[in-house]
Structure 1
């Protein structure tokens, strides 16, 4: 009971701090929050049991590797922000750069569609996880209903009112994560004192382990949102805030995985989309309820943000031949089809491949610009290597079995 109270008070305290006007209206923090919330949102719900079960005691190293790959791709996005998006779009860096930017924008638009399906399938699973309707069929039915609701909201221009709630949903999620981490630190410390920490063997090794890790890129994705905040923040603020968001998310993720990987035995880990709930029940009774609240707040806001983003991209790239309502309808059709045709882990893999294509194209764009600006052979080779890595992830990334 005392332990639950400590977790609840930590969550409340962090939440109160985050909604204080001085914090909530601080420009740099506002710029950090958008990519930070995207990076540590859904991944936080899946990565704990998945990495710990698959990689055992080596899970923190795999988590670190994922964050390093994400940071390298983040460097590409930051480079393209510094170059100037308008200069790319208007062809100041050549026709090839302009074409790659257009293709990558289309890739991002479709990646957003898959990511919305990923977010809403997680929402459906977590929303029903602690009810009598906890079944995959009911979760998919709820997900379908939310897809339809989002289309209706988008077609009536209701996103604008919901977007105002974005910061508060982010504050709730970050506060709950703080409470979760405190709970895990106390639990980890207790087991360390009693010398009951364990080093689990990995369940996946060799090439399958590499391809599985590649298929989890979506769980550390989200930093690229900084590039599309140009209407609100200048280039330097976006570059600085994206870098800070990736540093913070790396620390949070690695600490989180360390606190889980050496505490739970393999039989205590559930390889389902809501497996984290069963694991946290062992730590403290309050944590499952907090996780469900975090899932509902974060997944809905993330789905709305990506739906709005994809609608805007489809309209812009089609030169208004596809209206935003039509784009939302397309998104819902594809998303509902994915929901009923695939499980959450397959959708995670599809989303990872979609974003890998986008990051690879952005890396190719950076290489073209580096050649145009005569930035030197090492930089060009680096960007081409990242473009190759993006292509490799898209081709070889595998679904979690």
Structure 2
């Protein structure tokens, strides 16, 4: 059976060792070392591990004690979900420059449907490469990608050339790709299911394909129909965007920390220009303006003020921004400043973040 067009163009983007890579980004001394994110000791649990640590068998959900036994020189670092979320939002904003059909799976991975995209680029492979390059330029982190006709194959493909790589499975390659794929590489097939398949003589996709629908349902219940379809390249689940618009925002991370409030006003002036541009483009107005300050020690502070009227133009809201800046003393040098509008005049309040490029 041949797959019939038209085909969707789906990209699965997966950040490489995300939590561990963020730790290395924020502490360059950790780069190239075996590190684990999570708790140390018998009751501690590993959330993520660097590729250097994985070579020793350290992996997520492992106890800290076992991880240390496998890798005696392992370095433990604490989780920082606020930081992960911050970078995740930056990455997603890059996605939204290409398509609104973005389905985040977690902080570090998402599906994108680029069949019809904002760049008018017919090559999903080229778009995936551009996105990965943008992610590195703007966050300093690496990502891998899988590209194919549906979410299932794209998800499987993104793992093939990790780290920092991508794999495209073209429509005319899908059937052979799936037939040759080991069943333990099928997304959703865990150790228990794989062992059960091995006992039935199913080791690769072609073995799975030889089983009838009735046989698979008998052995695997409702999942049997799923396995029957996916090995034939049939997976019709659409990319489901769950973007919630509650604010419009712009922010900038600086290449060097700043401590002068005069310099901060200069930076905020440019950020306000971008925010006004975005507000006008989306035909949005807001009553609440928020100033976001991230200090050099990564602590974060927000200051907000709500007016009894809607604002959009810079001349309306920038005086409020200055009030917020001088409202309290700046206690440390600053690495990031941001402005956002909330309490919008739109009934469909969706989330729009504008991430300006890093000043590298």
Does the alignment reach a TM-score above 0.5? no
- Higher RCO (Cα < 8 Å, 6 or more apart): 1
TM-score normalised by L of structure 1: 0.19
Higher CA-based Rg: 2
TM-score normalised by L of structure 2: 0.21
Q: Which has the higher strand share?
A: 2
Q: Which has the higher helix share?
A: 1
